[in-house]
Amino acid sequence: MSMWSDRKPQEDSPKPPPPVARPEAPAPEPKIEKAGRIATAESQGVAIIAQSMIIKGQIKSAEHMHIAGEVDGSLDLTGYDLTVTAESKVRANVNAREVDIAGSIQGNVTASRKITIRTGGKLIGDLRTPGIVIEDGCYFKGNIEIVTREPRPDGKEGEQPLTRSASAKG
């Protein structure tokens, strides 16, 4: 074979068909760390206040809320759960179904089911709830009002408060 050939350059040769686009695997579901559990964004409706966000004012939500940033004002989540992560700072009065605290809350907290203060969590304010969990290694300063749900004389469920004061430093 000689160096000089009659062949055309390769650019004139037929090009292979472009690769068939394959659908990529769906991105993994973003995980939301609940102070004691892990939930996905699809499980229930979850409003997220991200770590870089600062919210000032009144917040009323008809879905669960996950706070990793800062909130200054009031939080009304009647019938829904609130999760306060380790990085968060909340300066607000809170009303929710369950409150799970691994970060910091300064304000009074009312929960219709339970309040949990996790190790490393800090809560300064009065609590009103039928159930409370205070883990070792947390800080709590305030009063606790344990509300029991006992039937009223008319047969309907009602709240009969049983107040106990406590201060804890774990």
Cβ pair 82, 99 in contact under 8 A: yes
pTM: 0.65
How does pLDDT run across 5-61, given as a tens digit for each residue?
A: 555 555 555 555 555 555 455 444 444 444 544 444 444 589 999 999 999 999 999
Read off the tokens for 140. 């709590």
Domain ranges of the chain: 31-169
Cβ pair 164, 146 in contact under 8 A: yes
Q: 115 to each of 14, 33, 52, 98, 143, how far by Cα in Å?
A: 70, 17, 25, 6, 13
How does pLDDT run across 37-47, given as a tens digit for each residue?
A: 444 444 458 99
Q: Which of 144, 124, 122 is nearest to 135 (CA)?
A: 122
